[in-house]
Structure 1
Amino acid sequence: MSSRQQRRKKIPAQASRTLLLTGLLSTLGMPAGALAQDTAGGELQSVVVTGTYAKNRRTADSESPIDIIGARELQSTGSTELATVLGRLLPSVNFPRPTGADASDAVRPAQLRGLSPDQTLVLVNGKRRHTSAVVNVNGTQGRGSAPVDLNAIPLAAIDHIEVLRDGAAAQYGSDAIAGVINIILKKGAAGSEIEAGFGAYQERDGKQKSLRGSTGFALGDKGWVRVAAELIDRDPTNRAGVDVNKLNAPGKLGKINQRYGDASSKPRSLFVNSQYRLSDDIDWYAFAGYGQRDTSGAATWRPAFNLGGALQTPLFPEGFLPLQNSKLTDQSIVTGLRGETAGWRWDASLNHGSNLFHLELDQTANLSLGAASPTHFYAGELKNTQTLLNLDVAREFPIAAFSGPLTVAIGAEARRERYEIGAGEAASYNGSGSSGFSGFRPANASSNSRHNTSLYLNLEAEVSKQLSGGVALRHERYSDFGNTTSAKASARYAVNNAVSLRGTASSGFRAPSLAQQFYTITTTNFFAVGNDNVPIETGTFAVNSAAAKALGAQPLKAEKARNLSLGVQFQPSRNFSTTVDVYRIDIDDRILFSSNLVLKDGLKKQLAAQGATVGAARYFTNAVDTRTTGVDVVSTYRIDLRDKDRVDVTLAYNRNKNSVQHVADNPALLSANGLLLIDRQTINRVTVSSPKDKFSLAADYTAGDWTARGGVTRYGSFTVPQNNAAIDQVYGAQWVLDVSGSVKLGKNWKLSAGIDNLTNRYPDQVTSQNNLNLGGTQPYSVFAPNGFNGRYFYAKAGYAW
């Protein structure tokens, strides 16, 4: 056992848990940026805009569960990644840290309530955010999805975040099956801030330097512009084990050759938010973002010799570690007019966004080119573009029989999407292709688009002082798969001043993304044949291609969902509240990326006749019907101390269970050749690979200019499935303690410091059975919900004026 492994294991599990619980000091106060005063009861409540069209709707009045995360909470950890912060603050969010997974190293997917990452809708200022161009096609969480890249949105630009944990397709359209994440940007001309930060892991890697700031400008007395910027440098981490592969050169045998951990990353981003009053009744608004993120991730180490004992390439006589160097360019702009005419509130907007992923490879080779191979390759690029036109109108109508007005909202939307694949240079795909990632070929290059239109109606009312409710209906027409209609009904009933019940029932959908319909690449993959890993040319085919149809592919259908939720709210005083929400989500025709179909000679000939000369194939398919059941518990308590000092305590818990209700019939052609389109591993990855549950207990102690923060999180167990059930591995729960503190110096300065994962807890290691840990070089699972980097120290210095 290495000295590093010994240091990781020196704290016994029981002692560690005791330290986790007794060391709890802090965090989760109410978000300062989203507070409204209830003058009747003196209670502080958060006004929400997500999931409702009514004015001044508070969290306590919502028929659906909503989490509010303020700017202080977003800064309460050492992470500068939005998805990582959400994964630590919200038990319903899971954000693992894949490595060695090609483009998924650079664009890592997050999931809500254990569902697919692309089944959560992301909004910015209430407007639909475009998705990433990257498709997760490797063996990671969210395989087959192309969700929004949350980490492209800088923390410096965010005022607060509203997370709606409920199906909302009837209100917002496609993707809102698991819920909605609405990111509200900072606004106004007042106040400026700048902050510098530095952090590193105990293993002395992963050093992070950050510089962020936000400032505002007045546009006369009628408007404002708010600008936020971030510059971050993150070094890679490495938790690889010693390499004992006998194919290594003598000088590399018994060394740490692999790089297994976070990729290096250099995000640069700029966000602008603005508003200007054109008249007493009309405002113009616009917000835009531009960012680039350079990422360098490592592929699997290539030893010096092949199975036959020959040198793989004279260019690297000791072996080589291919680096996948990507540049992600993300840009967006939304502009519109909003106002009030004849009692109707209206909002008309134009929304455009794009995500471009450009990939190059370094310190690698095309083995089939021998000494003539270059060591740098351009592998191609992916681009996703979205353009929307929106018109929303709403008005309150007094109803004599109701205690409050009836809010009527209607709207229309037109959206156009485009997905493009650009080919790489010839050396990246000819022959065996560039090692680490074979480039996109001219035959893979394509540009495909679609459009859709939608209409919606939303009704909300306070029927009595005890009862409120709403209904929503939305109809959409897509140019590629037809029509769909979604509906939602919700209600809340106050039993008394302290207890209320709430519930929703809805239908929903998720349109198959263009990436799922048209992503295609031909590359060399390694498959187990007997006792050897054999390279096989593998084609990922678009479902409408002749090659995919020859293997039984059918046009993709929309995923259809049915959501049921029932909750209870308990608030005996203004300082204490608890909510418990149980839910069930049924999804039919879930789209999955197929298993790897290793083809027999007959099928090879059929595909060759379609112009595809490959030995294995994959494509997307409507594969399974699933059911997700779970419970969310959130409890907050504020303890008021002397001199306005206080302690805010939050307990949160999520438990989730996914099960498969139906598996689509295997295509007859594949059955006749002994192949399964959807194998055991693909099915079980949907049901058991995310944590069964997640628990967090956090507090925030404020005393004058000092604050102390701390939070303990328990990440539940999960299973990484294989096609052979005997080598499934169940990973135990992991306890993590984060602590931090800050002090204000005068009116302007603030110093902060903290430790994430104070007790240096690592997840269980991958077992050596069937060499799933690649001879010990990859000791941790990429499904681990908190990653596997260990203890992290950080400090920040901020100046505000």
Structure 2
Amino acid sequence: MTRRMTPLAISVAIALSCSSFATLAQSDTPRTLDNVIVTGTRVADRTVAESQSPIDIISPEALSSTGTTELATALARAVPSLNFPRPAITDGTDAVRPAQLRGLSPDQTLVLVNGKRYHTSALVNLNGSQGRGSAPADLNTIPIAAIERVEVLRDGAAAQYGSDAIAGVINIVLKGSGQGGSLSVRGGQYSAGDGEQYQVSGDAGVALGEAGQVHFAAQAGHQNQTDRAKPYQGVVEQRYGDPEVEQGAFSYNGELSPTDYLTFYSYGMASKRKVLSNGYFRWSGDNRNRPEIYPDGFLPQIYNESEDRSWVGGLKTSTEGGLNIDLSANYGSNKLSFDVRNSLNNSMGLASPTEFYAGALELSQYVLNADFNKQLDWGLAYPVTLAFGAEWRGEDYEQSPGEPASYLNGGVPSANGSLLPGAQVFAGFKPSDSGKFDRNSHAFYVNLEADLTDKFSAGVAGRYEKYSDFGDTSNGKLSLRYAFTDKVALRATASTGFRAPSLPQQFFQSVATNFIGGVPYEIGTFRTDNPAAIALGAEPLKAEESTNYGLGLVLQPVDGLYVTLDAYQIEIKDRVVLSENLTSTPVRNYLQANGFPGIGGGRYFTNAVDTTTRGVDLVGTYRWALAGSNLDLSAGYNYNETDIDKVAGNPAALAAIDPAAVRIGQAELSRIKEGAPNDKFYLSALWSPGDWQFSATTTRWGEFVVYNSPTTVPVEQTFDAKWTLDLAATYNLGRWSFTVGGDNVTNEYPDQSLAGQGTRTYLPYATNSPFGFNGAYMYANVGFKW
């Protein structure tokens, strides 16, 4: 590890060397670390510099400084430890892509909006993407036009916020001003000549008399597909890249204060995203094709519609004794429907339709919060902030079946005599897969935080939470910060955390007919309470448990220069993972002989892996005041390494059936351990002379590893680190702004996969490349502000 940490030492030296030239010019602009935060603390006036935990503030200018129209992509370019790859040919994951923080599972990061818990997606990621088996929140349902800033807490916070906050917390703060606004039109395409995009967005604040205000925002856009597949047999039939996307979103955020001690507040968002993604091409002579329907073969496609809704309403008041009260209600839902186009159900012969409705997934969340805080005089240098409260949360999950043609066995054999039932590329959900499920939980928390002296601050938090489906859990957190001087401070945290298994992980089921040796078997993803899964050793899921440690240094050697260096260790026990397909001959024979006719095996979720993740984050910013202009410099570096501490042995039931069964395979372990880059570095500069702004950001995306199937050469491949460069220039003319720019202007691509995608060597790039595989993107933007 010492050898691999060399880039960190270099980065620290670069960041600290800024102090040598800092005396050339001093800036009187507001300090970056003086921004007040609302995430990770209950103190009303805590700033970034004073935080006991590492936290980043991402401004709306940073989010819009590149060509992307996606929030998750913008955050991946601004937060060193956030990874957002662009998987392709991964079914619903093409439409709802997951993001990782600190290399952990996507659902181990909690997402808040205005400090309130945001709902997760209905999709559970089942294919070979990063985050396989996870069901996280979909960041791209939140319109960038609505965002005032994003606060990223890089620390465990389950004791403060509850489930999911193992890797950290992403809190999106919405614009709330009652005046001002903007309009923007953006368009661009990739240098390869595809992936054309456009977006129209705007926001506006409206005053509600003298007592309140509301801020509206909306955006709509479209992007075409990209294709980086190689020609095969002289013809390009396969498409491999980003899907076609059409999206619209709307939001509001407002408050009304009829008196000086009572404020009503509310926000709401609604979005709809339509995504058309591709499967694997079926050649004309393929046994799965019907040449009478598709003489030249066919490319099956999945059409997803993701509908997202959220609403929060509440009131804040205070008593004469200084008790502040916040009561709120929170609702959120995500519905993801599946249609299959340009396909067929081979078992229906020539009577097969070519389009199918394959079913839908829907998740809803309901939350009631009662939060209280009060300043106490304990005779210390400063008041002590006491915060306490209660939360009730309910969740519903529904899986709806597709139309019969999407899953039925029509009885017509294929060319080689086998039966191939169900819509190809995505067989519909069967009525036996479908159902409605729910659970609820209640929690109580308490938090004390204080500046004990001018130099020393501390915080302690505790939370008790009980779920209706798996039991209760108690968690705590201790935070400390000591300022040696105004320029040097040390901070440390220790906490325990948990993540409740999601309803999709517990209850999603999709069973399809597969042929093994010419015999049809029902194989798929089984619920853990499915009798066939229980026969193979499945058990009820339990909560993941974590222990987090953090140690950080905050440096402010001169005005305008800020450096934070934070090391962390995150131990997670009983991680929820998706097993391998258990379909060996002994498994099939056992199931056939023990009351499961037609069932040939499958996979299920299980708490089978323990891990330890260690890493370090370095973030530095410097504002250099030049003659008539400013030069803003920022740098970030993350090193992250995950070790597999334990893989649970096969349960007795499975071991008795097949002693050689592999429940958690090397591909999944490799994905957890090294599927995300082990490090990332960026350096950005923004120069503002007169009416111009010029920005440049260079990013080094670290190496990652892909484990292919054991029959593929190579079985394991390491992909080298790559550098990308983003450039943009903006001219401001009064309230107008005109921008031209390019992302990845050097047209960098990841290494080509030596194995392709299995036997499909015409698919040249690995889907977990952290910066995608589309090449250079050029764009232009026209904006107007008032």
TM over 0.5: yes
| Alpha-carbon shift at residue 772 of structure 1 (Å) | 3.6
1:329 is the counterpart of 2:313: no
Q: What is the one-letter code of the residue matched to 1:133?
A: A
Q: What is the one-letter code of the residue matched to 2:550?
A: S
| Alpha-carbon shift at residue 347 of structure 1 (Å) | 0.6
Cα distance between partner residues in 2 of 1:77 and 1:496: 37
Q: Which residue of 2 aligns with 1:102?
A: 91
**Aligned ranges for residues 364-763 of structure 1 at < 5 Å?**
364-400=343-379, 402-431=380-409, 432-524=421-513, 537-600=522-585, 603=588, 606=591, 613-643=598-628, 645-671=629-655, 672-673=657-658, 674-722=660-708, 724=710, 727-746=715-734, 748-763=735-750
Q: Which residue of 2 aligns with 1:7?
A: none
| Alpha-carbon shift at residue 374 of structure 1 (Å) | 0.0
Q: Which residue of 1 aligns with 2:5?
A: none
Cα distance between partner residues in 2 of 1:536 and 1:316: 27
Out of 102, 116, 126, which is 1:127 matched to?
116
Q: Which residue of 2 aligns with 1:353?
A: 332
Q: What is the one-letter code of the residue matched to 2:574?
A: D
- Count of residues paired in the alignment: 746
Cα distance between partner residues in 2 of 1:226 and 1:584: 40
CA contact (8 A) 2:588 2:599 kept: no
| Alpha-carbon shift at residue 616 of structure 1 (Å) | 3.3
| Alpha-carbon shift at residue 775 of structure 1 (Å) | 3.6
Q: Which residue of 2 aligns with 1:12?
A: none
CA contact (8 A) 1:773 1:780 kept: no
Cα 1:602–1:53, aligned 2, differ >3 Å: closer, same or farther? closer
| Alpha-carbon shift at residue 726 of structure 1 (Å) | 5.6
Cα distance between partner residues in 2 of 1:461 and 1:306: 69
Task: Point out where structure 2 has 5 or more consecutive residues left out of the alignment.
Answer: 1-10, 12-26, 410-420
1:145 is the counterpart of 2:134: yes
Q: Which residue of 2 aligns with 1:293?
A: 273
CA contact (8 A) 1:599 1:617 kept: no
Identical pairs, percent: 46
CA contact (8 A) 2:33 2:49 kept: no
Q: What is the one-letter code of the residue matched to 1:285?
A: Y
| Alpha-carbon shift at residue 600 of structure 1 (Å) | 2.2
SS in 2 for 1:427: helix
| Alpha-carbon shift at residue 101 of structure 1 (Å) | 0.2
SS in 1 for 2:669: helix
Q: What is the one-letter code of the residue matched to 2:371?
A: D
Per-residue displacement from partner, 1:760-797 (whole Å, max 9, x unpaired)?
A: 000001103xx645442211001100000000000000
Which consecutive aligned stretches of 4+ in structure 1 deviate over 4 angstroms post-superposition? Answer: 41-44, 524-527, 533-537, 607-612
Per-residue displacement from partner, 1:269-316 (whole Å, max 9, x unpaired)?
A: 001111001322010000001110000000110111136xx9644211
1:343 is the counterpart of 2:331: no
Q: What is the one-letter code of the residue matched to 1:378?
A: Y
| Alpha-carbon shift at residue 668 of structure 1 (Å) | 2.8
Cα distance between partner residues in 2 of 1:683 and 1:612: 32
Per-residue displacement from partner, 1:624-653 (whole Å, max 9, x unpaired)?
A: 11000000001111101123x111111110
Cα distance between partner residues in 2 of 1:197 and 1:329: 24
Q: What is the one-letter code of the residue matched to 1:652?
A: G
SS in 2 for 1:595: coil
Cα 1:42–1:335, aligned 2, differ >3 Å: closer, same or farther? closer
Q: Which residue of 2 aligns with 1:200?
A: 189
Cα 1:540–1:275, aligned 2, differ >3 Å: closer, same or farther? same
Cα distance between partner residues in 2 of 1:56 and 1:640: 28
Per-residue displacement from partner, 1:53-80 (whole Å, max 9, x unpaired)?
A: 0011000001110000001001101000
Out of 245, 248, 268, which is 2:248 matched to?
268
Out of 148, 163, 167, which is 1:178 matched to?
167
Cα 1:772–1:347, aligned 2, differ >3 Å: closer, same or farther? same
Per-residue displacement from partner, 1:26-49 (whole Å, max 9, x unpaired)?
A: xxxxxxxxxxx999x988611100
Q: What is the one-letter code of the residue matched to 1:758?
A: V
Q: What is the one-letter code of the residue matched to 1:241?
A: K
| Alpha-carbon shift at residue 665 of structure 1 (Å) | 1.5
Per-residue displacement from partner, 1:416-470 (whole Å, max 9, x unpaired)?
A: 0011100000110012100110000000011000000000000000000110010
Cα distance between partner residues in 2 of 1:192 and 1:588: 47
TM-score, normalised via structure 2 length: 0.92
1:780 is the counterpart of 2:762: no
1:277 is the counterpart of 2:257: yes
| 93-102 or 666-675, larger mean C-alpha shift | 666-675
CA contact (8 A) 1:154 1:230 kept: yes
SS in 2 for 1:60: coil
Q: Which residue of 1 aligns with 2:24?
A: none
Cα 1:630–1:573, aligned 2, differ >3 Å: closer, same or farther? same
CA contact (8 A) 1:74 1:85 kept: yes
Per-residue displacement from partner, 1:475-512 (whole Å, max 9, x unpaired)?
A: 00000000100100000001112111000000000000
Q: What is the one-letter code of the residue matched to 1:562?
A: T
TM-score, normalised via structure 1 length: 0.91
CA contact (8 A) 2:183 2:783 kept: yes
Per-residue displacement from partner, 1:78-126 (whole Å, max 9, x unpaired)?
A: 0000001111111100000010000000000000000000000000000
| Alpha-carbon shift at residue 669 of structure 1 (Å) | 3.4
Cα distance between partner residues in 2 of 1:612 and 1:195: 60
SS in 2 for 1:58: coil
CA contact (8 A) 1:547 1:610 kept: no
Per-residue displacement from partner, 1:242-268 (whole Å, max 9, x unpaired)?
A: 123xxxxxxxxx211101000000111
Cα 1:128–1:324, aligned 2, differ >3 Å: closer, same or farther? same
CA contact (8 A) 1:380 1:424 kept: yes
Per-residue displacement from partner, 1:658-691 (whole Å, max 9, x unpaired)?
A: 0111111212333342311111212221101000
Cα distance between partner residues in 2 of 1:778 and 1:43: 44
| 579-588 or 634-643, larger mean C-alpha shift | 634-643
Q: What is the one-letter code of the residue matched to 2:640?
A: N
Cα distance between partner residues in 1 of 2:520 and 2:165: 40
| Alpha-carbon shift at residue 704 of structure 1 (Å) | 2.1
Task: Point out where structure 1 has 5 or more consecutive residues left out of the alignment.
Answer: 1-20, 22-36, 245-253
1:48 is the counterpart of 2:8: no
CA contact (8 A) 1:767 1:773 kept: no
CA contact (8 A) 1:256 1:777 kept: no
Structural RMSD (CA):
2.0
| Alpha-carbon shift at residue 192 of structure 1 (Å) | 1.6
CA contact (8 A) 2:706 2:717 kept: yes
CA contact (8 A) 1:411 1:456 kept: yes
Q: What is the one-letter code of the residue matched to 2:637?
A: Y
| Alpha-carbon shift at residue 543 of structure 1 (Å) | 0.5
Cα distance between partner residues in 2 of 1:43 and 1:559: 36
CA contact (8 A) 2:230 2:762 kept: yes
CA contact (8 A) 1:77 1:738 kept: yes
Cα distance between partner residues in 2 of 1:436 and 1:563: 41
Cα 1:535–1:468, aligned 2, differ >3 Å: closer, same or farther? farther
Cα distance between partner residues in 1 of 2:778 and 2:278: 24
CA contact (8 A) 2:277 2:301 kept: yes
